[in-house]
Amino acid sequence: YNKLYIIKSMTKFYSSAGIRVGAIISNSQNIKNIQKREPLWKISQFDSAYIQSSLRDKQFNQHSTVINNKNRDRVIELLEKSRYIEKVYPSFANFVLVRLKDIDAQKFQQKLIPYKIMIRDCSNFDFLDSSFVRIAIKDDLAIDRLREALCESFI
């Protein structure tokens, strides 16, 4: 496939927002063309050491996947019970896309701020509008705050 590029962000999986590391998979000619335009120093020594260490830790990968799946299921269950959620779209990522009902993304965000919950307003994404938000899958404490916010703020 001459026009196929698979881009994988390792930043998302390892929840390391300050470290921008990823991979591109494509045919050999496409990779050669990309390499012609690469900067001399693609990543810092710190980034390189971090990602090498992370990739060697197979238990972390397995453990993270199990925990993310469990937490994602909890978040989806919470969201599906909320009267302000029209649809939760299936996801295998560490976030879920949600279509809101009877409230727009900005108002929904405002109700979550007192609980220190930030969501991604998806109104500027292609083919989405202000009824769509993206909610990150976090740890147990964050999920408990989301439960509290959905129960208290929206009743």
Average pLDDT over residues 134-148: 93
Position 44 scores a pLDDT of 81
114 pLDDT above the threshold of 80: yes
112 pLDDT above the threshold of 90: yes
Q: How confident is the model at residue 155 (pLDDT cuts 50, 70, 90)?
A: very low
Q: Please state whether beta strands 120-121 and 132-136 pair in parallel, antiparallel, or not at all (unpaired).
A: antiparallel
Position 154 scores a pLDDT of 62
13: tokens are 């999986």
Q: Which region holds residue 85: left if phi is over 0, alpha if psi is between -120 and 50, else beta?
A: beta
List of domains in the chain: 6-56 (no CATH), 62-152 (3.90.1150.10)
What would the pLDDT profile of 14-69 be if each residue is shown by its tens digit? 766 667 778 899 999 999 999 999 887 777 888 888 888 888 888 888 888 899 99
CA distances 145 to 54, 75, 113, 116, 142, Å, are: 29, 11, 11, 8, 5
41: tokens are 């120093």
88 pLDDT above the threshold of 70: yes
Please answer whether residues 100 and 79 qualify as being in contact, where contact means their C-beta atoms are separated by less than 8 angstroms. Answer: no
CA dist 92 and 117 (Å) reads 21
Enclosing H/E stretch for 134: strand 132-136
153 pLDDT above the threshold of 70: no
Burial class (CB in 10 A: 0-12, 13-18, 19+), 89: exposed
